């Protein structure tokens, strides 16, 4: 089965290209994160903070995508922006997958009152403005001593500013609705399958049935939605950064770069906005193509 999935996946040029980008950018983010941690320990300045030319220098051989208002390399700063992008994608994606799968499986398997509560929950979250919830959660994390202390401890371990971590968690909390609906519908169908009914008659507990028979059959949906939620989380983090909120332990973010570059477009300084926006476009496009390819390869109902 896995051989067929691999052959189907790699038969698509778009899937192969998306997989290459999906492997290259995480490597860049990992190198930048290691460099940032090492600089923090050694007390030296990261390369993306070093002055490499005159302010607003246009693209040249010495700095391929020009410099910003301080003379720092725009290319290096845009590459460093992959760090918060992947952090928010992974953290928010894991949070949304955990909530969506847990509630979706419980609602679809147990039905009744449990299903009513879950439907009410995701209907409430679906009608809530995501950006407003994210900003409110970030404000709560800054004013609540208990939550702030937890975020500071977790943020120190993950090398993320507490405010940024609050934003990442809030994005994950608001991103589980679509997956929950799909998992709920699929679980309702699976719970009436003959092998599930046979397990019930044999006296197998619901927890074991869910673990052995339900979750393995919705795994492809989880992989697909995690990929898509990853891209959505990155775009939301860029939007929050564009508004000047969050932060990421001194590492530049694409949202901050886009906001700064927008203010300088009237001076003909286009490279800062192009670098950050271009990298974000490449990452989101690769994730969307990867999600579509995984859906076609993993879903047995697709042709």
Residue with more model confidence, 20 or 187: 187
Q: Is the pLDDT of residue 10 over 80?
A: no
Q: Is the pLDDT of residue 303 over 60?
A: no
- For residues 265 and 186, give the distance between their C-alpha atoms in angstroms, rounded to a whole number: 49
228, two tokens: 């898509």
pLDDT tens for residues 223-276?
888 988 898 999 998 988 888 776 556 688 888 888 888 877 877 888 888 888
DSSP characters over the chain: -HHHHHHHHHT-HHHHHHHHHHHHHHHHHHHHHHHHHHHHHHT---GGGSB-SSTTPPP-SSSTT-B-TTSBBHHHHHHHTHHHHHHHHHHHHHHHHHHHHHHHHHHHHH-HHHHHHHHHHHHHHHTS-HHHHHHHHHHHHHH-HHHHHHHHHHHHHHT--HHHHHHHHHHHHHS-HHHHHHHHHHHHHHTTSHHHHHHHHTT--HHHHIIIIIGGGSHHHHHHHHHHHHHHHHHHHHHHHHTT----TT---HHHHHHHHHHTGGGT--HHHHHHHHHHHHHHHHHHHHHHHHHHHH-TT--
Q: What is the pTM of this model?
A: 0.88
Greatest mean pLDDT among 12-16, 91-95, 156-160, 217-221: 91-95
153, two tokens: 């401890």
Phi, psi of 67 (to 5 degrees): -125, 165
Q: How many CA atoms lie within 13 A of 106 on its CB side?
A: 14
pLDDT of residue 5: 61
Centroid of chain to Cα 138: 17
pLDDT tens for residues 263-285?
778 778 888 888 889 999 999 88
Mean pLDDT of 204-223: 89
pLDDT of residue 4: 58
pLDDT of residue 91: 93
- For residues 86 and 54, give the distance between their C-alpha atoms in angstroms, rounded to a whole number: 31
Domain 82-250: CATH class, spelled out: mainly alpha
Banded model confidence at residue 1, pLDDT cuts 50, 70, 90: very low
- For residues 206 and 61, give the distance between their C-alpha atoms in angstroms, rounded to a whole number: 63
Compute and round to an integer the Cα radius of gyration of the chain.
22
pLDDT tens for residues 137-162?
888 887 888 888 888 898 888 888 88
Mean pLDDT of 51-62: 84
- For residues 224 and 294, give the distance between their C-alpha atoms in angstroms, rounded to a whole number: 6
pLDDT of residue 43: 84
Domain boundaries, the chain: 1-80+259-303, 82-250
The sign of the CA dihedral 272, 69, 83, 177 is: negative
Q: Which residue has the tokens 């673990």?
A: 211
């Amino acid at each position: 089965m896995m051989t067929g999935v691999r052959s189907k996946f790699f038969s698509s040029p778009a899937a192969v290209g998306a997989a290459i980008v999906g492997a290259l950018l995480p490597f860049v983010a990992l190198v930048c994160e290691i460099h940032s941690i090492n600089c923090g320990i050694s007390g030296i300045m990261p390369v993306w903070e070093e002055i490499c030319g005159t302010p607003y220098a246009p693209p040249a051989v010495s700095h391929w995508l020009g410099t910003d208002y301080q003379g720092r390399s725009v290319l290096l700063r845009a590459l460093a922006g992959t760090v918060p992008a992947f952090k928010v994608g992974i953290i928010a994606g894991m949070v949304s997958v955990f909530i969506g799968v847990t509630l979706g499986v419980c609602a679809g398997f147990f039905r009744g009152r449990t299903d009513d509560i879950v439907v009410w929950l995701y209907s409430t979250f679906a009608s809530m403005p995501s950006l407003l919830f994210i900003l409110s959660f970030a404000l709560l994390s800054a004013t609540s001593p208990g939550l702030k202390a937890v975020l500071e401890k977790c943020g120190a371990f993950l090398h993320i500013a507490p405010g940024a971590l609050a934003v990442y968690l809030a994005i994950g909390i608001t991103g589980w609705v679509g997956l929950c609906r799909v998992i709920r519908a699929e679980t309702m169908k699976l719970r009436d399958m003959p092998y599930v009914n046979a397990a019930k008659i044999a006296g197998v507990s619901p927890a074991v049935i869910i673990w052995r028979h339900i979750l393995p059959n919705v795994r492809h949906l989880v992989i697909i939605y995690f990929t898509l939620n990853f891209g959505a989380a990155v775009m939301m983090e860029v939007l929050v950064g564009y508004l000047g909120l969050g932060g990421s332990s001194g590492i530049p973010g694409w949202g901050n770069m886009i906001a700064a570059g927008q203010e300088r477009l009237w001076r003909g300084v286009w490279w800062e906005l192009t670098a950050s926006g271009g990298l974000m476009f490449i990452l989101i496009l690769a994730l969307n193509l990867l999600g579509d390819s995984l859906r076609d390869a993993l879903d047995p109902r697709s042709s």
